[in-house]
Amino acid sequence: MFVEINGNPLNVEVLGEGEHTIIAHHGAPGLGSLAEPRSSFGRLADAYRVVVFDARGSGASGEAGPYTHEQWVADVEALREWAGAEQIVIAGGSYGGFIAMEYAARHPSRVSAMVLRDTSADNANQELATRNAAASARVSIDRAKLDRIMTGTVRDDADLRECWLEILPLYDHDYDPAAVRARAEATPYHYRTHNYAFAHNQPNYDIKHLLPGITAPALVTVGRHDWITPVSCSEAIAALIPGAELRVFEHSGHSPQVEEAELWEATVRAFLDKALGAR
């Protein structure tokens, strides 16, 4: 369904009818969609009400700007109000984790728990990711394409697709060229959103100072072999959020919710049972 949120239509799906509401934010602005959180958090719809959506400028949602963190956080808050939830479990993976953390820090009274996956609290991961890509023995990366996608200077949707296809082999623990091609074909491309996020938001991104103010229980999950938001980024987050739990998945890259799906799901369920039960 389409829901008007802050003057822009968002493509929203609601799964399950549980007492507690989870709002899960996808990653990769301009490339991501609700498909990823639907496949991972949707598995919890037997016990929770799960709200997934295409963020402003991504997937099938409207493209009205701005594509700032402030706007994306405001959209989550308006979505919470639309859902009629006094408090939510806020969840986010990769870039969606940026927004989840900012939401939890700026709306602490509205967050009952937070689940993060393969994310970072500042832009230090950019340099780490660039080094990891250059050192990869799996594929030889075209440095010009890597630079365009990492700095938000892709030329159009077709160029974004080519740059995305270039780095996709780095994401998974086990490389499957057919799966990479299928993922590239299934991706909705919005190069203006991507460029704004990486050329304007990312260079100044640093919310480490906000993390000690997060009051909700937090679970930080990450794949041991994540190339773009390495384990050190999650370790830094867990060290700054009071009482945060860190779980490293030894046989995963950037997507433990896919590569170690059963273990990741069991970990999230156990965390939420404890966190929401205590509250």
Residue appearing with tokens 């299928």: 182
Which domain does 26 fall in, by range? 2-124+205-278
pLDDT at 277: 86
pLDDT at 179: 94
Are residues 58 and 188 located together in one domain of the fold?
no
Are residues 263 and 212 located together in one domain of the fold?
yes
CATH code assigned at 240: 3.40.50.1820
Are residues 100 and 139 located together in one domain of the fold?
no
Query: How many Cβ atoms sit within 10 Å of the Cβ of residue 209?
Result: 11
Are residues 44 and 172 located together in one domain of the fold?
no
- H helix intervals, the chain: 35-40, 69-83, 95-106, 124-135, 143-151, 157-167, 177-186, 191-196, 231-240, 256-259, 261-278
pLDDT at 174: 94
Instruction: Give the predicted TM-score (pTM) of the model.
Output: 0.97
Taking alpha carbons only, the member of 55, 49, 133 closest to residue 98 is 55
Are residues 193 and 217 located together in one domain of the fold?
no
Which of 200, 219, 248 is a domain's end point? 200
Are residues 114 and 35 located together in one domain of the fold?
yes
Are residues 178 and 249 located together in one domain of the fold?
no
Taking alpha carbons only, the member of 274, 268, 262 closest to residue 247 is 268
Are residues 67 and 112 located together in one domain of the fold?
yes
What is the arithmetic mean of pLDDT over 242-264? 98
Whether residue 84 has pLDDT greater than 80: yes
Are residues 56 and 103 located together in one domain of the fold?
yes
Which of 200, 227, 250 is a domain's end point? 200
Whether residue 142 has pLDDT greater than 60: yes
Are residues 211 and 118 located together in one domain of the fold?
yes
Number of domains in the chain: 2
Are residues 196 and 229 located together in one domain of the fold?
no
Whether residue 264 has pLDDT greater than 60: yes
- The more confidently predicted of residues 279 and 139 is 139
Buried b (16+ CB within 10 A) or exposed e, 118-134: bbbbbebbbebbbebbe
Which of 181, 200, 219 is a domain's end point? 200
Are residues 157 and 227 located together in one domain of the fold?
no
